[in-house]
Chains A and B, each alone.
Chain A
Amino acid sequence: MAEEQGGKKLDPTEQLRSMRDAYMEAWAKTMGEYVNSEQYAQQSGATLDAMLAVSVPFRAAIEKAMVNALQQMAMPTRPDFISIAERLTNVEMRLDDLDVKIDRIAQAVTKIPTQAPTSAGQKAPSGSVKRASAKKSAEKKSAKKKGAR
């Protein structure tokens, strides 16, 4: 298809393409101005109103019939599912809050010191008290043995 002319290939489709692009550019500009006008806003609003005016009664009738049919069959309806979904979301939020509280408690627990405090005024944990009294009784026993000898 292409012809050789002056060392350069001539492609007729390239010319058609540039014509097409120029046309598209001009069209895009015109359409851009049109959609940005009051006239378009008015027309699109009127179209939407007309569409809703036609579809709303049908949708309402179908929904009503569906709810009646499902209720007759003792089946859950769309509003029932919506209500359950809303309740689930609330439960999820509470769980999320609980999750955070548990994390905080877990962090607080890990921060509690496990070693016996060294300062004089502090109460020693029960384990160390037991160990201390056991040591004292062992010392008394050894003293009695020494006395007996």
Chain B
Amino acid sequence: MPPEIVESKDFLAMQKRLQLLTKTLTSSAQVALTPKETVWTLNKAKLYRYVPQVPKQQRHPVPLLLVFALMNRPYILDLRPGASFVEYMVKQGYDVYLLDWGSPGPEDKHLKFDDYTLEYIPRAVRKMKALSGCEEFSLLGWCIGAILTTIYASLRPDDGLRNLILLTAPLDFSRKEQLTFARWVDEKYFDIDKVLATFGNMPAEMIEYGAKALKPVENYICNYLRLWDNLDNPQVVESWHAMHTWVTDNVPIAGAAFRQLIVDLYRNNRLMKGELLIRGERVDLANIHANLLSVIAESDHITPCCQTESAVAKMSSADKEIYRVPGGHIGIMAGSGACKRTWPHLDEWLAKRSQYSQTNFAPPERKVG
């Protein structure tokens, strides 16, 4: 009887499934494949320029700089061919740059938002302007990257920023009852001094646990059941594999920046109150005049809608739009529906505002989302 069992169809199919499951769980997917070159580096940060794929005449003259969060790898914006925002924008004729913060080491524990917004971003912008030959540029910030780009846009409004795109931007921390993170990092329960004195930087493992613990059953069980159920579907497996690679590839946050995030923003909401000081300069959201597009994920459990709307209202941009997309914090840009909803809208909005002829911040046509 045993030989018959071994040769049975069901057994072989099960064996194949288990092999695929093991491979998917224990290997890294091929990610970030859009051709690029490193054009600038500083400490751990790198600035990538993506190789243009359309003739020069068809390209938009205003370059686009992408800034992602500090605790995850930015290749979520260039996940895999066919599911890459970067690839999509390059094909639409944009001169795309991506700022990769890298992984901070023990020597970087003193890095603050001050350094990221007034040293790293301006230098990367300077390099991008030199390479593109255009004095104006567009800036896209996602998650904590949106906090950094907002601070930069407020403190350096005359740097040539024409278009500002904020994706799921956590800017207002006043409604603590809606913010699970705010509850966890409350000073009653979370001793930030002790954590940073022990580790220097906020360890990547703790950040990953925190992000997953917001939805423990979905992240620790349902996610793997979904893979098991779809092992016969190569497209789902490929997509799952790439996303799993990204989700488990976290980096620490520099200690001082993490302290600012928790103390200044989560606990004291200083950005919205106009009390946030960056190298002695007060960050005033009213200083932002660039064309503004804020994208909100309707099912975002990390950055609820309330964290963005009130902050956008404080910005002075004459051309302002809030665009709501069904989906979660990451799904709106890297999910299966992103290429049908979010990306085309970003392209449409940006294309109108990325031409040579436009010399002021007035919009070609005003839309209210």
Contacts and interface: CB of A to CB of B under 8 A. Distances in A.
Interface of A: 17, 20, 24, 27-28, 31-32, 35-38, 40-42, 44-46, 48-49, 52, 55-56, 59, 78, 81-83, 85-86, 89, 92-93, 96, 100, 103
B81 interface: no
Given A17-B229, A31-B217, A103-B130, A41 B184 contact: yes
A85 B104 CA distance: 11
Nearest to B206: A48
B189 interface: yes
Contacts, number: 77
Nearest to A44: B184
Size band of the B side of the interface? Answer: 20 to 34
Interface stretch (B138-146, B160-168, B218-226): B218-226
Contacts of B225: 20, 24
A55 B195 CA distance: 11
Quick one: which of A27, A40, A41, A42 has the most chain B CB within 10 A?
Answer: A41
A6 B119 CA distance: 70
Given A28-B215, A89-B43, A96 B123 contact: yes
A5 to B, nearest CB: 22
Contact of B183 (A31, A36, A59, A85): A36
A59 B203 CA distance: 15
B216 interface: yes
A44 B189 contact: yes
A28 B183 contact: no
Contact of B186 (A28, A41, A55, A100): A41
A49 B190 CA distance: 8
Contact of B119 (A32, A36, A41, A93): A93
B286 interface: no
A59 B198 contact: yes
A66 B290 CA distance: 53
A100 B126 contact: yes
A48 B195 contact: yes
Contacts of B123: 96
Contacts of B198: 52, 55-56, 59
Contact of A27 (B106, B213, B214, B217): B217
B107 A41 contact: no
